Amino acid sequence: MRSRHFSAMTITLLFIIFTAGPLASTGAKWTYNGPDGEHDWSSNYPFCGGAFQSPIDFQTQLLRYDPNLPPIQVQNYNLSTNEQLTLGNNGHSVQLSLPFHMHISSLPHRYSAAQLHFHWGSSSLLTGSEHTVNGKRFAGEMHVVHFNSDKYPNISMAVDKHDGLAVLGVFIEIGEFNPAFDKFFKYINGIKYRDQKIQVPAFNIRALLPVRLDEYYRYDGSLTTPPCYPSVLWTVFRNPVTISRKQFVALATALYASYAHDSATVPLHGNYRKPQHADNRVILVSFKDGLHGILSAASPFQRKQVIQKLLVGDLADLADEGLYQLLPKLSPQPGVDEKFKKPKKQGQWSQATQKQQWSKNNVQSSSSIGKKIPTPWYMGALETDKGMCFVSLEENVVHQLERYHAKGLMVEALREVIFPELNLRSYLHCRSNLDLQTIRQLIKGRSQDEATELEQSLTKAMLRQMRRQIKQHRKPNMKTTIGHPQATFPKDYNSALTYHSPQRVEWED
């Protein structure tokens, strides 16, 4: 267990002024299986054992319908055959470069394309998608990676920023032959070994996506491969595309993760990461048909009110009023074991709200006049243009831990530092529930008695809600959801009441 001294030390890291710099751990060897497999990723890439990791299982009880989610709009995806694209084998996947002028236009920022790649199973195991739907794994998954070109000049500068990436995920099923995929599948024998690359004619990338771009899952997550930065806004389409069994087997058997000059060849297949903890995140969905009793996403305005009350309201009154009633309601369906794990993610306020809240929180004590007050940790989440640079964060945490001779606690320290801010950002964007750890940080420094009373009130209310969910789940006549069967509730109900240390995870290029 951590000492109180270390816990206090990690909290102080929230006030570090970050400076950019390269990571010593960048470039460490990793694989999906074996001694360098995902179970060991966090030893060299600590974010892989941290918060808001991807992929996740799209369980029905985590879904929230958001009628304001627009259809995905992609621009310049129909490329001219006169263009050339680079097809390569990076040892982890087959990757196709994409031109900058391809972009997503339906997000708050312009996200320009960088590359697309695949995750798949093997010729003997036709399941290899990273995301799953109520435990169902598809044959494969395609990721079209974009970066925030409004704020960053290239993907290298964007990859470690909290708002740096947007990825379109496409489930792949075995079915009819797909001519669009054959536009580059027919060239994969030219990239059989790691680091081999060839030029291929461009084609209509839009043909690789589902026909309907208006039905999708949306959540805050991470890269699914090292360094696992939680920098991705995920959009995973509901409807899969198909490729033939022959196409799938060709992909699953043609490539090697080893170099051409290696004495032993290592097949490239089974390159998918296992589902990660939800970390109090919820999944917004743009569709409602086929889902019974799905909840709607809570109002962003209501969420801002909750934060304001926590920052400047009377905590004793809030406890009496039952602040819990202002928090997003827990799903009427089971799965609450995820509710008590540490959170992460992105969310923002309007500039007017930021300025108002900033002034309120900097004039609370006359004794502070004339003193330099450190920026509150939550301002990074509340300021629209305030970014999080994960490379700088890791570098500074390493420096602090070295002072305390505690480098072995890197994963835990990073998670403790970034989780509340990620959770707050995501909560304000309606993509997470507000975690108790974040609430504790928000009311830190306020009246101890009032803070304790509020926390006890929230804890009791959440436990009552959990018991109601457990009782409801035990009823025999629970209806299943069309297309989304009920997820199985954990047999050990007590495990849902305790915080579980983050498990080590798997990733995506």
List pLDDT tens digits, range 61-102: 999 999 999 999 999 999 999 999 999 999 999 999 999 999
**Average pLDDT for residues 23-43, to the nearest whole number?**
81
Q: What is the mean pLDDT of the chain?
A: 80
Q: What single-letter amino acid sits at 112?
A: S
Q: Which domain holds residue 161?
A: 33-285
List pLDDT tens digits, range 425-456: 999 999 999 888 898 888 887 877 777 878 77
325 and 250 co-located in one domain: no
The model's pTM is 0.79
Is 395 part of a structural domain of the chain?
yes
Residues 163, 387: contact at Cβ < 8 Å?
Answer: yes
List pLDDT tens digits, range 275-322: 999 999 999 999 998 888 888 887 888 888 888 888 888 777 776 665
- Is pLDDT of 381 > 80? no
Pick the residue with more confidence: 360 or 184?
184
pLDDT at residue number 405: 81
List pLDDT tens digits, range 318-370: 766 655 555 544 333 333 333 333 333 333 333 333 333 333 333 333 333 33
C-alpha distances out from residue 441 to 11, 14, 378, 383, Å? 9, 11, 9, 17
Q: From the CB of residue 402, how many other CB atoms can be counted at a distance below 10 Å?
A: 10
257 and 372 co-located in one domain: no
Pick the range with the lowest mean pLDDT from 205-209, 455-459, 504-508. 504-508
91 and 135 co-located in one domain: yes
Closest CA to 25 of 419, 414, 344: 414
pLDDT at residue number 343: 38
List pLDDT tens digits, range 240-254: 999 999 999 999 999
Closest CA to 279 of 4, 33, 509, 500: 500
pLDDT at residue number 322: 56
Q: Would you name the residues annotated as active-site residues?
A: 92
328 and 233 co-located in one domain: no
Is 229 part of a structural domain of the chain?
yes
pLDDT at residue number 83: 96
Q: What are phi and psi of 75, to 5 degrees?
A: -120, 145
- Percentage of residues in the chain with pLDDT exceeding 90? 57
- Is pLDDT of 482 > 80? no
Is 507 part of a structural domain of the chain?
no
Q: What's the structural domain count of the chain?
A: 2
C-alpha distances out from residue 86 to 74, 90, 95, 199, 293, Å? 21, 12, 8, 5, 46
Is 141 part of a structural domain of the chain?
yes
List pLDDT tens digits, range 56-72: 999 999 999 999 999 99
Is 112 part of a structural domain of the chain?
yes
State the alpha helices, DSSP H only, in 189-329: 245-254, 300-312, 315-321
